[in-house]
Amino acid sequence: MDRCPLVAGNWKMNGLIASLAEIAAMGTAYDLALKKKVELIICPPATLIGLALDVAMLNGIGLGGQDCHAAESGAHTGDISAEMLKDAGATYVILGHSERRADHGETDNIVRVKATAALRAGLKPIICVGETRHEREAGEALSVVGRQIEASLPGDAPGTIVVAYEPVWAIGTGLTPTLEDVAQMHAFARERIEARLGGGKSEDVRILYGGSVKPANARELMHVPNVDGALVGGASLTARDFMAIAEAYR
């Protein structure tokens, strides 16, 4: 088992050309010693991927998209294919984020088909799963996430895929699960990923925690067993906060 931790910034629908200065500042703080400890990527809005490429590459920071269409090209106004993201310079793509599941009705089936498209294009999918507050309170968190893993991951996916556990109630709220709950969920997720992919591949799959990761809680969350990094929303918008989170791995 040799999983390099991954800290990924999800900028969601935030970021203008001026925001590229934050990526440049992240690069300044991402020194050689830290590069050996943790991989960093930023998933800006698609409008910025091409523009961010030079500054990101120069600094060893990767880029990802936030969604893709299942088809390679065609009559799908407003959509972007995995091949287009790859062409623009992305190496990852976030899929099945709870905001897309809620805003765009994305089901596990849709997420799985998109993940297959991402792999076809040579992108690493970051597949998001996580229970709602209602589901957690009903004692269904594990079963919901187990089902999402089973149905959202392509069964033949390689160990290079990434899974992000993001409890919906922890996103943008400042709330986080207890460290015990995170440990339980991540261990369970790895079991379910193994059941889905087989062949010991789950040992290579990085399982990120997401939901109100901040500089103040990053260190303890990132050191929970089976937590292989973070998917960061709000705190990824500034170099100061994002790099303070990455420092948890120094």
Cα gap 86→186, rounded to integer Å: 29
Using the rule CB under 6 A, is 90 a contact of ligand 13P? no
Residue 233 marked in a binding site: yes
Using the rule CB under 6 A, is 15 a contact of ligand 13P? no
Residue 206 corresponds to which amino acid?
R
DSSP 163: E
Q: State the distance between the two ends of the chain, measured CA to CA, in whole angstroms.
A: 20
Using the rule CB under 6 A, is 248 a contact of ligand 13P? no
Q: What are phi and psi of 189, to 5 degrees?
A: -60, -40
Work out which of 211, 221, 226, 248 binds ligand 13P, going by CB under 6 A.
211
Residue number with CB closer to ligand 13P (67 or 166): 166
Least Å distance between CB 77 and ligand 13P? 26
* Segment lying near ligand 13P (by CB under 6 A), choices 33-41, 82-90, 205-213, 239-247: 205-213
* Secondary structure (H, E, C), 76-126: CCCCCEHHHHHHHCCCEEEECCHHHHHHCCCCHHHHHHHHHHHHHHCCEEE
Residue 12 marked in a binding site: yes
Binding-site annotation, residues for substrate: 10-12, 172, 212, 233-234
Please give the residue ranges that form the binding site for ligand 13P (CB under 6 A): 10, 97, 166, 171-172, 210-213, 231-235
